A and B are shown apart, each in its own frame.
Chain A
Amino acid sequence: MSTQKRIKVVLAKPGLDGHDQGAKVVARALMDAGMEVLYTGLRQTPEAIARISQEEDADVIALSSMAGSHLPICRKLKPLLEQAGLADKLWVIGGNLPAQDHAELRALGFKGIFPSSSRLEDIVNYIQANAP
């Protein structure tokens, strides 16, 4: 719909993980689907992610984590996103996310969880359906 606002996504690589092939592929898929994507690049601290998301007025905060530190990162990020007034935005995470961690990620507010092998189409559809 032409009256609908374009969905704006801040896509971040938190922590020190340098595996960005997946994040960049997802960024392209979201752009192809008509979304505005701000990809942060590597090594973003939780503080930086919250600040950028706030400054950019993001509808969606998306993380890509491949190196196993997703839980400590999301535990730190949750209060920062809340303090930045972003509690009502859509938080999603993708990457190497073992099934046993999904419940905690969900409890931390990451409603969309896309582990390795997720399809681009499913990620795009989920964000389109759930972005505020």
Chain B
Amino acid sequence: MKPKDLPEKELRPVVNESGIAIKPLYTAEDVAASGGADMIGLPGQYPFTRGIHSLMYRRQPFTMRQYTGFGNPADTNKRFHYLIANGQTGLNVAFDLPTQCGMDSDDPQAEGEIGRVGMAVDTLRDFETAFAGVDLEKITVSLTINGAAAILIAMYLAMAEKRGYDLAKLRGTAQNDILKEFVGRGTWVYPVAPSIRLVGDTIEYCAKHAPKYSPVSVCGYHIRESGADPAQEMAYAFCIAKAYADEVIRRGLPVDEFAGRLSFNFNCFGSIFEQVAKFRAGRSLWAKIMKEQYGATQPGSMWLRMIAGGGGGGLTFEQPEINIVRGAYYALICALAGTQTMALCCYDEAYTIPSEYAQRISLRTMQLLIEEMGLGDTVDPMGGSYYIETLTSQMRERMERIMADVDSQGGIVKLVAEGAIQAKVSAQAYQRQRAIEEGSFRKVGVNCYRTEDKTPEMEFHPYKDEDARAQVEALRRIRAERDAGAVQVALARVKADAKSGANLMPAIMQAVKAYASVGEITNMLVGEFGRFREPVRF
């Protein structure tokens, strides 16, 4: 059946962000022609296009996990309890930049940055304070940490162990995706090769000692924020995830012993349909990769478990209140796409660290979907749509092509180390910005429907120098009180293991338990590994 009376030639052409031409109408013929009909299947069954679980939200709604953290650990602990009291079911911790870059609060480069964009962490004591009163069995914690991930994972495990939790049962996630930090976000410390080794160390260690913990969350998210299109976002993330898997397999760990704990983090701004198709396509492509290329046999190893949400790149500085509406659509996309966990950027985020009020609006946005809008009632409600199924196949094909291109150019590790991916996505970001300024890429409130009305008053997050000083003093106190001999022994072991090539996690665990600081441990590793030198390419 062909649509009649449609003067297609007179219609404006539509091409989605991933470069796929969009027709005004889709029918069963398009689904058949897309060649992906046999990839649809059923939820909970290979290739998992429709969802990794058979009952999805009908059994358990997505976890709601707003990104939070600022100031001293005690301040962050208060906000954690506020969010939990408001019904949040997970925590997603933001760390300040010195912590993320592996520096202590008394490092000269930390001045002015302590506790500013996240919580300051120097030693295990800070983790003990931040998570006081949080039930780590009921609330799963995600640590947004990369360059310093091995140290902070060790702190989390040590803190949980001290409080009597069984590591064999402990759940939680660390972002720990260093390759994407080289592309966007920028909290790298060491050169590329030792950075990948450290990721491998955490995966290997957790597989043996904390098998329910997810040591890595591979992020397409920030690559998208840096300028990638939606198909590239997912394709590059898969290339990166494969690089980590290869690192661990090279050490002799069988794929089914770790792949089930790999998780992912994706963005969601853009066309509703392109985004939903992206997630469905990605789910089946990842399953196919794990099964066919890696020989995974456990379904869990093939699951694309993910946090989806955020959408910061789609939000605007102009008319910030309409970001609340954008956030609601982003949440809808993620729920329609079958994410395991969701977080939303807040409407005030282009201005400041979100206020409690803004955080609550984001949390309520997600709760509305489940409680009022029926998003938790049926699995994969978009499944079977001619448009969505056709687009899902087309997006999958596009992702496969991008991945093949990366491989043919020498692989993702080489392309990231040389700055080639960075240059590519940054050129695209420039084109996008030009298109926005020319008006060909529409942004409401920015290049159309502008208003001269005054921007509503924003509640700016305060930065207090006295809190930064208190953090530095607390670190000095711990340095004076701790067993200096034990710290020296542990740090020497970190250095020795860095040199010998042993898995670094046991040494790092020993060091954090002795209250060695983030900066002290990092400096030991820098002594052996050196620092990353950023390739600047245009």
Contact = CB atoms under 8 A, between A and B. Distances in A.
A21 B113 contact: no
Interface stretch (A38-46, A54-62, A86-94, A104-112): A38-46
B97 A15 contact: yes
Contacts of A50: none
Contacts, number: 90
Nearest to A28: B430
Contact of A67 (B116, B184, B227, B350): B116
Contact of B113 (A40, A69, A119): A69
Given A24-B430, A67-B116, A98 B352 contact: yes
A18 interface: yes
A82 interface: no
Nearest to B107: A16
Contact of B112 (A15, A39, A43, A116): A15
B538 A41 contact: no
Contacts of B352: 98
Given A20-B186, A69-B116, A25 B430 contact: yes
B111 A21 contact: no
Best-buried of A45, A69, A73, A120 by chain B (most CB within 10 Å): A69
A120 B431 CA distance: 12
Given A18-B185, A21-B227, A120 B433 contact: yes
Interface string B79-109: 0000000000000000001101101000001
B113 A43 contact: no
Interface residues of A, number: 34
B226 A98 contact: no
B247 interface: no
Nearest to B100: A16
Interface in A57-76: 67-69, 71-73
A113 interface: no
A40 to B, nearest CB: 8
Contacts of B185: 18-19
Interface string A5-34: 000000000011111110011011101000
Interface string B245-264: 00000000000000000000
Contact of B427 (A28, A73, A98): A28
Interface in B113-141: 113, 116-117
Contact of B429 (A24, A43, A71): A24
A25 B423 CA distance: 11
B426 A43 contact: no
Contacts of A100: 460
B101 A25 contact: no
A42 B103 CA distance: 15
A68 B117 contact: yes
B538 A16 contact: no
Contact of A25 (B110, B426, B446): B426
Interface string B322-357: 000000000000000000000000000011100000
Given A19-B185, A41-B534, A72-B111, A117 B437 contact: no
B316 interface: yes
Contacts of B1: none
A68 B317 CA distance: 16
A69 B186 contact: no
- Helix, strand, loop or mixed for chain A's interface? loop
Contacts of B184: 18, 20-21
Contacts of A67: 97, 113, 116-117
A21 B429 contact: yes
A21 B437 contact: no
B101 A16 contact: yes
Contacts of B103: 16
Interface string B457-491: 00010010000000000000000000000000000
Contacts of B226: 21
B429 A16 contact: no
Given A27-B538, A68-B117, A21 B426 contact: yes
A41 B536 contact: yes
B177 interface: no
Contacts of B318: 117
Name which of B97, B109, B112 has the most chain A CB atoms within 10 A of its CB: B112
A28 B427 CA distance: 8
Pick the most buried of B98, B429, B430: most chain A CB atoms within 10 A of its CB.
Answer: B430
A44 to B, nearest CB: 10
Interface string B215-259: 000000000011100000000000000000000000000000000
Nearest to A117: B317
Given A42-B534, A67-B117, A117-B446, A21 B427 contact: no
B433 A72 contact: no
B44 to A, nearest CB: 38
Given A16-B98, A67-B117, 6 more contacts: A21-B184, A29-B433, A67-B97, A68-B116, A73-B112, A98-B460
Interface of B: 97-98, 100-101, 103, 109-113, 116-117, 181, 184-187, 225-227, 316-318, 350-352, 426-427, 429-430, 433-434, 437, 446, 460, 463, 534, 536, 538
25 contacts: A15-B113, A16-B103, A16-B109, A16-B110, A17-B97, A18-B97, A18-B187, A21-B225, A21-B429, A24-B430, A28-B430, A29-B433, A40-B536, A43-B109, A68-B116, A69-B113, A69-B116, A96-B350, A98-B351, A116-B317, A116-B350, A117-B316, A119-B437, A120-B433, A120-B437
